[in-house]
Amino acid sequence: MRGRVAIRVITLAAAHLAMLVLAGQVWAADPPKRPNIVVIVADDMGFSDMGMFGGEIHTPNLDALAKRGVRYTDFHTSPLCSPTRAMFFSGTDNHIAGLGNMDELVAPNQKGVPGYEGDMNHNVVSFASLLRDGGYHTYMAGKWHLGHEPNLLPHARGFERDFSMLEGEASYFADMIGVNSAQPVATYTEDGKYVTELPKDFYATEAYVDKMMGYIESNRKDGKPFFAYLAHVAPHAPYHLPDDWLRKYERQYDMGWDELRKQRLAHMKDMGIMPKHAELAERLWYVPPFEVLAPFVRVLAARKMEIYAALTENMDYHTGRLIEYLKKTGEYDNTLFVFFADNGAEGNAIARLVAGKPGTKDFLMYSRQYNQTHPNAWGRPGTSTTYGPSWAQVSTVPFREHKGYLAEGGIRTPLVIAGAGVQQKAGTINHSLLHVMDLAPTILELAGLSHPATYDGHPVAPMQGKSWTPLLAGKTDAVRGPNDWLGWELLGFRAIRQGDWKLLWEWKPWGQGEWELFNVAQDPAEQYDLSSSRQDKVKQLLALWDEYVKTNNVILPNRFIYETAEKDLPKRTRVDEGWPPLVFKPPFVPPQELVKGKEGESKSNQPAFMHDGS
């Protein structure tokens, strides 16, 4: 409050000074107006989904941003939602900011440990608070996922106006159905007040954009710059869509996941998103080849991807309404746009993960609230649909794994920056190593503000991220040198990245339960473990891991949601496109000249349904 009073005094003083200057006929150029900053986050959207990253999903508005600005192909987040968001707002590691683990997944030995509060703690200051104190209007609409208590709400963490959904997931509709039995009713807040009812025609993605435009419009004429944080819940589960969007991609995915993965990678290579030598990650061993599925199973499986694609396009459509509004009001040119996805595409079957065991409270809640299971209802109220690991591997082409894991499929996401302050050539693709915690220092620098050592009377952790302003100004191609490094830990998965090298530890059966070493420039899909031939590199990166643990007070969990996975999943076997032999064996076609009575007419011995791919 004191900060705001001080700013008002300074503004009045400046106005007074301006009058004196005018009276004396001394003209000086206006200081350049600080840019508006619009950050748009897609929830669980994959690396290769949007058009300008190689996807076939129709995303014209995001693509237009990419054409005007820069695409970054080596941008990293946490593998899960709330740790990413904590790093985004604090500019530091999730283990410092309170999300050492997801609130939903905190292990017994992590409970009560500082850094494992499960919400964004007050050991850090949100850059939104600094922008608000520094003369920006600050608006948020969408998913928060960083705390429920009054002192943890968006309103308390820097947002002057907000309309927020507090959990990791909820129904997109007015029914406010929550994500699990601990949160059977989703929690929404507006300007620090808890909302108990939504308008009957509420649809999340549309409503968030409407709210955001309303907030911007309400103060637009006062000349102050604004920070707008549009945190979509789309395309996160439970895949809800307005009826007129449901059939948009009907029968567009009949080619199946194996074929589409190849198509996307080829497209990415043509565009320069991926190098020519990039290979596709192996199909996860618990995902069947699409072509072995029975025809009706293929149609059902494809239907899930149809809905996901429509949901992603719908998110793009509403994002486009905000951009259009900024154009109409003349704010567009002085606005910096940042778009990214908060983690890799979601390959876990959420409903099964949460409510898979009959007799639990979660099972009961899902049977009551998400009881519409007929495929014709998918996308409508009362359904909970996800597309599973098969299509998630399409969304994360060419990488291995997906949300929740530390292979690139979990932590490398699309990033687009465009607009005010971006001096790089339009349409540039940049391949430098970036991290979500870089955004706070970048935005603060663009706003002409600095990060304090204390806030609200207590010390706050310094930022670990690196400002991108030299990169955006076109003065350099990378903000990290060969000695800079990044670390990750979540759910016991561990990784270190330095230059092109990545040291990775994964639980069995995803990994070996040992450290593996990959060169992600040569091998973005992390197919070739080089640890035995490059022990020197392993040792060097292990020292960095020790430093990461010490700096960030990492406590490896003693319980783990996938602890029975090795038993529950099919046994992991080597992926071999030649095995089992009958699946891949080309059918026998008799030599035409020896076919009795059918000269000149070749005929396969397969029944017709094997040919039409439907």
Count other Cβ atoms within 10 Å, centred on residue 367.
12
Q: Which of helix, strand or coil describes residue 469?
A: helix
Q: Which stretch binds Ca ion (CB under 5 A): 41-49, 332-340, 369-377, 527-535?
A: 41-49
**Which CB, 318 or 402, lies closer to Ca ion?**
402
**Which CB, 399 or 515, lies closer to Ca ion?**
399
Q: Catalytic residue, from 81, 232, 402, 451: name it.
A: 81
Give the span between the Cα atoms of 309 and 253, in whole angstroms: 10
Residue found under tokens 């080849």 = 289
Q: Which stretch binds Ca ion (CB under 5 A): 42-50, 123-131, 244-252, 601-609?
A: 42-50
Give the span between the Cα atoms of 451 and 431, in whole angstroms: 28
**Which CB, 236 or 261, lies closer to Ca ion?**
236
Binds Ca ion by CB under 5 A, chosen from 343, 384, 386, 396 = 343
**Which CB, 133 or 346, lies closer to Ca ion?**
346
Give the span between the Cα atoms of 97 and 84, in whole angstroms: 10
Q: Catalytic residue, from 95, 122, 137, 145: name it.
A: 145
Q: Which stretch binds Ca ion (CB under 5 A): 43-51, 135-143, 144-152, 190-198?
A: 43-51
Question: What does the DSSP assignment read for 154-178?
Answer: GGGGT-SEEEEE-SS---SBTT-EE
Give the span between the Cα atoms of 516 and 576, in whole angstroms: 21
**Does position 342 bind Ca ion by CB under 5 A?**
yes
**Does position 81 bind Ca ion by CB under 5 A?**
yes
**Which CB, 44 or 489, lies closer to Ca ion?**
44
**Which CB, 90 or 343, lies closer to Ca ion?**
343
Binds Ca ion by CB under 5 A, chosen from 34, 40, 44, 52 = 44
Q: Apex CA 491: angle with CA 231 and CA 81, to 5°? A: 0
The distance of closest approach from Cβ of residue 315 to Ca ion in the complex, given in angstroms and rounded to an integer, is 13
Q: How many CA atoms lie within 13 A of 551 on its CB side?
A: 17
Q: Using CB atoms, what's the residue nearest to Ca ion? A: 81
515 phi, psi to nearest 5 deg = -70, 135
Q: Which stretch binds Ca ion (CB under 5 A): 81-89, 249-257, 303-311, 570-578?
A: 81-89
The distance of closest approach from Cβ of residue 344 to Ca ion in the complex, given in angstroms and rounded to an integer, is 9
Number of residues located near Ca ion, criterion CB under 5 A:
5
The distance of closest approach from Cβ of residue 403 to Ca ion in the complex, given in angstroms and rounded to an integer, is 7
The distance of closest approach from Cβ of residue 63 to Ca ion in the complex, given in angstroms and rounded to an integer, is 22
The distance of closest approach from Cβ of residue 237 to Ca ion in the complex, given in angstroms and rounded to an integer, is 10
The distance of closest approach from Cβ of residue 295 to Ca ion in the complex, given in angstroms and rounded to an integer, is 33
Q: Which stretch binds Ca ion (CB under 5 A): 30-38, 79-87, 100-108, 133-141?
A: 79-87
Q: Which stretch binds Ca ion (CB under 5 A): 75-83, 364-372, 415-423, 547-555?
A: 75-83
Sign of CA dihedral 124, 129, 135, 136: positive
Give the span between the Cα atoms of 198 and 486, in whole angstroms: 41
With CA atoms as reference, report the closest residue to 154 among 170, 134, 131, 138: 138
Residue found under tokens 């503000």 = 449
The CA distances from residue 519 to 183, 275, 446, 516, in Å, are: 42, 13, 34, 10
**Does position 526 bind Ca ion by CB under 5 A?**
no
**Which CB, 343 or 348, lies closer to Ca ion?**
343
**Which CB, 43 or 167, lies closer to Ca ion?**
43
DSSP-assigned letter for residue 586 = P
**Does position 78 bind Ca ion by CB under 5 A?**
no
With CA atoms as reference, report the closest residue to 74 among 425, 438, 335: 438
| Residue 145: active-site member | yes
Crossing angle for the helix pair 295-328 and 256-271, to the nearest 10 degrees = 40
Q: Are 425 and 352 in contact, with CB atoms under 8 Å apart?
A: no
The distance of closest approach from Cβ of residue 43 to Ca ion in the complex, given in angstroms and rounded to an integer, is 4
Give the span between the Cα atoms of 350 and 371, in whole angstroms: 15
Alpha helices in 223-294 (DSSP H): 256-271
**Does position 169 bind Ca ion by CB under 5 A?**
no
Q: Name the token pair of 374.
A: 């007929």
The distance of closest approach from Cβ of residue 90 to Ca ion in the complex, given in angstroms and rounded to an integer, is 17
**Which CB, 348 or 498, lies closer to Ca ion?**
348
Strands 137-143 and 161-165 turn out to be parallel
| Residue 155: active-site member | no
The distance of closest approach from Cβ of residue 44 to Ca ion in the complex, given in angstroms and rounded to an integer, is 4
**Which CB, 46 or 51, lies closer to Ca ion?**
46
Q: Are 370 and 351 in contact, with CB atoms under 8 Å apart?
A: yes
Binds Ca ion by CB under 5 A, chosen from 36, 40, 43, 464 = 43
How many whole angstroms from its chain centre is CA 45? 5
Q: Name the token pair of 67.
A: 């054409």
The distance of closest approach from Cβ of residue 436 to Ca ion in the complex, given in angstroms and rounded to an integer, is 12
Question: What does the DSSP assignment read for 362-394?
Answer: HHHHHHHHS---SGGGTTSTT-----HHHHHHH
Q: Are 44 and 387 in contact, with CB atoms under 8 Å apart?
A: no
Q: Name the token pair of 500.
A: 């092109």
Give the span between the Cα atoms of 202 and 207, in whole angstroms: 6
Q: Which stretch binds Ca ion (CB under 5 A): 40-48, 138-146, 252-260, 520-528?
A: 40-48
The distance of closest approach from Cβ of residue 545 to Ca ion in the complex, given in angstroms and rounded to an integer, is 25
Q: Which stretch binds Ca ion (CB under 5 A): 8-16, 109-117, 341-349, 444-452?
A: 341-349
**Which CB, 36 or 187, lies closer to Ca ion?**
187
Q: What amino acid positions are annotated as catalytic residues?
A: 81, 145
Would you tell me which residues interact with Ca ion (CB under 5 A)? 43-44, 81, 342-343
